């Protein structure tokens, strides 16, 4: 299967409760994560995370799907064209 390069944006609301759950999922997909930037925003009890991924559409979809199933987590992604 062909791999795609992409960016995944994640907003974690209720940071104290959901950040550990998000980190657990990101650890499970560490093999496709090539870079990560996290910005805690304690004044609003949120975190903003962007990750660079390099994987198949199925792998990236599984990652974003698991994150998106968490109640207080918003996820969006954009992928490169298949090459």
pLDDT at 83: 65
Q: Contact 40/23 with Cβ under 8 angstroms?
A: no
Q: Which fold has domain 4-79?
A: Alpha-Beta Plaits (3.30.70)
Domain boundaries, the chain: 4-79
Categorize the per-residue pLDDT at 71 as very low, low, confident or very high, splitting at 50, 70 and 90. Answer: very high
pLDDT tens, position by position, 10-57: 999 998 899 999 999 999 999 999 999 999 999 999 999 999 999 999
How far separated are the first and last CA of the chain, in Å rounded?
Answer: 11
Task: Answer left, alpha or beta for residue 45, where phi above 0 means left and psi between -120 and 50 means alpha.
Answer: left
Nearest to 21 by CA among 76, 66, 75, 74: 66
Q: What pTM, to 2 d.p., does this model score?
A: 0.91
């Amino acid at each position: 299967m062909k791999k795609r390069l992409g960016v995944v944006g994640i907003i974690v609301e209720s940071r104290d409760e959901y950040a550990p759950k998000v980190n657990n999922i990101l650890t499970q997909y560490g093999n496709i994560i090539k870079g990560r930037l996290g910005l805690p925003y304690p004044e609003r009890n949120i975190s903003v995370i962007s990750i660079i991924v390099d994987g198949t559409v199925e792998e990236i979809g599984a990652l974003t799907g698991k994150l998106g199933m968490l109640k207080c987590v918003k996820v969006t992604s954009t992928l490169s064209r298949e090459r």
